[in-house]
A and B are shown apart, each in its own frame.
Chain A
Amino acid sequence: MIELLERQKERPYAALTDEVIAPLAEPWSPLGHALFVATAAGTGILAAAIFWTFFHGIGAWGNNQPVAWAFGITNFVFWIGIGHAGTFISAFLVLLNQSWRTSINRLAEAMTIFAVTQAGLFPLLHLGRPWFFYWLFPYPATMRVWPNWKSALPWDFAAVSTYLTVSVLFWYVGMLPDLAAARARLQGGLRRRIYGVLALGWKGSGSDWRLYKVAYVLLAGLATPLVISVHSVVSLDFATGVVPGWHSTIFPPYFVAGALFSGFAMVLTLVIPVRKVFGIEHLITAEHLDKLSKMLLLTGWCVIYSYVIEFFLAWKSGEPFDRYTHFVAWPLGPYWPVFWFMMIAGNVVAPQFLWSRRVRRSPVALLPICLMVNAGMWAERFMIVAGSLSRDFLPSSWGEYAPSVTDLALLFGTFSFFGFLFLLFLRFVPIVAVSELKEEVHAPR
């Protein structure tokens, strides 16, 4: 899948290692510095917004009745969804023996961890009294009250914390051989020592590799159903309720498909500039872009299928509330621009360009499509949350939501924080799974 450069063909293993490890020792380029400063500043804004939220409570947000969930939950679902594609690439494609994953899985897993980090902020923040978050955990309390297991929110807590833990473990275990390579290749005392400690003394013996492969496949086999379960649980945040537009049995697979859809778009959005800036277009080739685009197309169609069924059944059921939500409130109500953007641009039209092979292999064409998809998927989450809540059963209770400055600062801040973490990753971690690449070079599947 990868193409070795001419100069790499003579000593491929050393050349590949150096290509990926060497940047860890080099100082940052001016572009890197600028981005780092910018994202750090954005993260500062995030910190300020968080502090403001803690200090003033949810009144600092635009939430109200009936729209008690708005940006907070939208952002949560958006970020968690993005994370899923990373795990899918890392884990599920291992089980399917898809060798094209090796060039991008490290990057995709990193994306997952940073995305889940952003997502995890919101359940904490949206609690009115966040210092009581530990009440979600079943410890014997003096008040003798326990968490309510019939609510999707404790399920969320279990699912997201498990997901973050397993993702980090999977990422780290996958990195051990490459950390050992960094330990071997990097000069300089402190850097070498840090990578050495992180590598845990990895020696690469045959018996170690055998056990390692078993453990890796096990983790992949565990992570795959985990991905499905986490976003299903997130969808149950809505589907277990009776709000029209929320209570629909297809939500779990629909949300998983949507998560993969937006996640693949984000992977492409990250991969396209990174391969250019780091000069690794021969490791992440047009073939990889093609495969990712096909996944994007497939999951996009799963989302379209879900839309069709939802709208059809809303009409066919004759239920007045369902009909109103789907055919009046969403397309013609207070958030109609968001709805039409999501429907037309983001999720229905944009992915159709991917039927073309040329488009699939062209980074220039893919980038705007992926950005549209991501924006469209954020819009979809917003429509589901605010669009439904603002127009539910009782007309006298209807009300709109507008984001406050804090809301916007939090959204913007999470993108900055995500970028900041991702830049750190690019700076300090081998961005391609070099040991797996070497295996491919030796014995291509």
Chain B
Amino acid sequence: MLLAEFDGPDELLHAARELREKGYPAETYSPFALESEEELEAPPRPWLPWLVGIAFVLGAVTAYLVQWYVAARDYPLDVGGKPPHSPLAFVPITFEMGILAAALTTVVGLLAGMRLPRLSRPEFEVEGFEDASVDRFFLATHERASATLWLLGAKRIVAFTLLALLVGGCDLQRMTDQHRPGVRTPPARAIPTNEIVDPRIAEGLEGDGFVREIPIPVTRPLLERGRDRFEVFCAACHGVLGNGDTVVADRMALRRPRSLLEEEVRKEPVGELYSAIAHGYGLMTSYAAQLPVEDRWAVVAYLRALQVSQSVPADRGAPR
């Protein structure tokens, strides 16, 4: 789940339309109602008016029946010579109670439809999101759309880590297949991490190409983490040493997972390695879901270390 901020309402609407055309779900957040052209031409028919209409009828009928029962059945009184059942006189209360029932239903229906009141939700943890009610414009969409978002002019993107996904609670696939506008808000356990301001970190992109240096500080803990994640996710196909010597590779004779120690791979800029992890490469799927941004750079850093370590000639010992 990504939350992207845009400069203004027109940019936001444009981005939402583009994303939906590409098949990504897109939910907008704005300080006032925005009507896209599609909506103006063919507005989706809401359910609320029908419910309200039914409520009106029920309220009115109930009021009429109460008046009738009281006046004509239970205790008829001769008031001014008028008959006990007087439809003309029953009209005001009937009408008022119909309106009351309808109005209450409208408000309850509205709140229920918006799933309010709900005072805390994960989006509010994102800095500045509250100003979606003032003058800022946000869009929530699937993580895979991050590259598209940058292209559409997003000022800023924040990622939510879905702990639920790792625990297997949420079916990411199904979510991205929903082509309707409006996206489910992340489950309550989702927390936003990694305020990613920079496409260099988020995508490994710089200018027209890939970054050539790892854009986050490379520390010992990062490398440790990288080794851990590499051995969990990458070693199965690329080997513990990164040389592609695995059972999986043996079985995939036609197109093996390559050795990561090859000259070609060493020459690739780190951004490209990052991109392979984030978006997949060839038959390799994207590991974006399993590896948040920091972890991906950790793996890249470890891979570089691995490449260096596997290329040092045996007679070169450890530096003194």
A interface vs B, CB < 8 Å? Answer: 11, 13-14, 17, 138, 144-152, 154-155, 158-159, 162, 165-166, 169-170, 173, 177, 180-181, 183-185, 196-197, 200-215, 218-219, 222-223, 225-226, 229-230, 232-233, 236, 435-436, 438-439, 442-443
Is A158's CB under 8 angstroms from B29's CB? no
Is A219's CB under 8 angstroms from B92's CB? no
Closest to A181 in B: B133
Known: A166-B100, A209-B30, A215-B110. Is A13-B92 also a contact (CB below 8 A)? no
Stretch at the interface among B117-125, B163-171, B305-313: B117-125
Among B97-134, those with CB < 8 Å from A are 97, 99-100, 102-104, 106-107, 109-111, 113-114, 116-121, 123-124, 130-134
Instruction: Answer yes or no: B269 CB below 8 A from chain A CBs.
Output: no
Query: How far is A155 from B92 in the complex, measured between Cα atoms in Å?
Result: 6
- What is the CB-to-nearest-CB distance from A220 to chain B, in angstroms, rounded to a whole number? 10
B87-100, CB under 8 A of A: which get 1 and which 0? 00110110111011
Instruction: Answer yes or no: B52 CB below 8 A from chain A CBs.
Output: yes
Is A210's CB under 8 angstroms from B44's CB? yes
Known: A138-B66, A150-B89. Is A438-B32 also a contact (CB below 8 A)? yes
Known: A166-B103, A183-B133. Is A439-B121 also a contact (CB below 8 A)? no
Is B116's CB under 8 angstroms from A201's CB? yes
Closest to A443 in B: B35
**Contact residues in B for A436 (Cβ distance below 8 Å):** 32
**Contact residues in B for A173 (Cβ distance below 8 Å):** 107, 110
Partner of A209, one of B33, B66, B107: B33
Is B113's CB under 8 angstroms from A225's CB? no
Is B46's CB under 8 angstroms from A211's CB? yes
Is B114's CB under 8 angstroms from A169's CB? no
**Contact residues in B for A148 (Cβ distance below 8 Å):** 77, 79
Partner of B29, one of A205, A211, A232: A205
B26-56, CB under 8 A of A: which get 1 and which 0? 0111111111000100001010110010001
**Contact residues in B for A219 (Cβ distance below 8 Å):** 103, 106-107
Query: How far is A442 from B63 in the complex, measured between Cα atoms in Å?
Result: 45
Is A215's CB under 8 angstroms from B107's CB? yes
**Contact residues in A for B116 (Cβ distance below 8 Å):** 200-202
Given contacts A204-B31, A435-B133, 11 further A-B contacts (CB under 8 A): A162-B96, A165-B103, A169-B106, A204-B132, A205-B27, A206-B16, A207-B27, A207-B181, A211-B48, A222-B52, A435-B32
Known: A207-B27, A212-B33. Is A13-B134 also a contact (CB below 8 A)? yes
Closest to A151 in B: B79
Instruction: Answer yes or no: B268 CB below 8 A from chain A CBs.
Output: no
Closest to B93 in A: A158
Query: How far is A151 from B86 in the complex, measured between Cα atoms in Å?
Result: 11
- What is the CB-to-nearest-CB distance from A429 to chain B, in angstroms, rounded to a whole number? 16
Closest to B53 in A: A218
Closest to B68 in A: A149
Is A214's CB under 8 angstroms from B33's CB? no
Known: A162-B100, A443-B35. Is A206-B28 also a contact (CB below 8 A)? yes
Is B92's CB under 8 angstroms from A222's CB? no
**Contact residues in B for A232 (Cβ distance below 8 Å):** 92
Query: How far is A230 from B99 in the complex, measured between Cα atoms in Å?
Result: 11
**Contact residues in A for B97 (Cβ distance below 8 Å):** 158, 162
**22 residue pairs from A and B, CB less than 8 Å apart:** A138-B66, A144-B74, A145-B75, A154-B93, A165-B103, A197-B119, A201-B118, A203-B133, A204-B132, A205-B28, A206-B34, A206-B182, A207-B182, A211-B48, A212-B110, A214-B46, A222-B52, A229-B96, A229-B99, A230-B96, A438-B32, A442-B32
Is B49's CB under 8 angstroms from A218's CB? yes
**Contact residues in B for A14 (Cβ distance below 8 Å):** 134-135
Is B80's CB under 8 angstroms from A150's CB? yes
**Contact residues in A for B241 (Cβ distance below 8 Å):** none
Partner of A159, one of B35, B89, B92, B104: B92
Known: A146-B71, A442-B9. Is A11-B135 also a contact (CB below 8 A)? yes
Closest to B36 in A: A206
**Contact residues in B for A150 (Cβ distance below 8 Å):** 71, 79-80, 82, 86, 89
Most chain A CB within 10 A, of B82, B90, B93, B113, is at B93
**Contact residues in A for B30 (Cβ distance below 8 Å):** 204, 206, 209
Most chain A CB within 10 A, of B92, B120, B131, is at B92
Is A214's CB under 8 angstroms from B49's CB? yes
- What is the CB-to-nearest-CB distance from B174 to chain A, in angstroms, rounded to a whole number? 19
- What is the CB-to-nearest-CB distance from A186 to chain B, in angstroms, rounded to a whole number? 11
Closest to B107 in A: A169
Q: How many A-B residue pairs have CB under 8 A?
A: 193
Is B75's CB under 8 angstroms from A146's CB? yes
Instruction: Answer yes or no: B70 CB below 8 A from chain A CBs.
Output: yes
- What is the CB-to-nearest-CB distance from A435 to chain B, in angstroms, rounded to a whole number? 5
Instruction: Answer yes or no: B161 CB below 8 A from chain A CBs.
Output: no
**Contact residues in B for A226 (Cβ distance below 8 Å):** 96, 99
Closest to A21 in B: B134
Is A204's CB under 8 angstroms from B133's CB? yes
Query: How far is A201 from B80 in the complex, measured between Cα atoms in Å?
Result: 55
Instruction: Answer yes or no: B67 CB below 8 A from chain A CBs.
Output: yes
Closest to B131 in A: A184
Query: How far is A177 from B48 in the complex, measured between Cα atoms in Å?
Result: 20
Q: Which 6 residue pairs spanning A and B have beta carbons closest together?
A: A13-B135, A180-B133, A200-B117, A215-B110, A184-B130, A155-B92
- What is the CB-to-nearest-CB distance from B199 to chain A, in angstroms, rounded to a whole number? 26
Closest to A184 in B: B130
Query: How far is A144 from B121 in the complex, measured between Cα atoms in Å?
Result: 53
- What is the CB-to-nearest-CB distance from B37 to chain A, in angstroms, rounded to a whole number? 12
**Contact residues in A for B107 (Cβ distance below 8 Å):** 169, 173, 215, 219
Partner of B31, one of A11, A177, A197, A225: A177
Known: A146-B74, A173-B110, A200-B111. Is A438-B31 also a contact (CB below 8 A)? yes
Query: How far is A147 from B89 in the complex, measured between Cα atoms in Å?
Result: 13
Query: How far is A218 from B105 in the complex, measured between Cα atoms in Å?
Result: 10
Known: A204-B29, A209-B30, A436-B32. Is A229-B95 also a contact (CB below 8 A)? yes
Query: How far is A165 from B104 in the complex, measured between Cα atoms in Å?
Result: 9
**Contact residues in B for A166 (Cβ distance below 8 Å):** 99-100, 103
Partner of B135, one of A17, A147, A196: A17
Closest to B56 in A: A222
Partner of A222, one of B67, B86, B102, B124: B102
**Contact residues in B for A207 (Cβ distance below 8 Å):** 27, 181-182
Query: How far is A214 from B66 in the complex, measured between Cα atoms in Å?
Result: 31
Is B134's CB under 8 angstroms from A17's CB? yes
Partner of A206, one of B27, B49, B70, B104: B27
**Contact residues in A for B29 (Cβ distance below 8 Å):** 203-206
Is B103's CB under 8 angstroms from A222's CB? yes
- What is the CB-to-nearest-CB distance from B228 to chain A, in angstroms, rounded to a whole number? 37
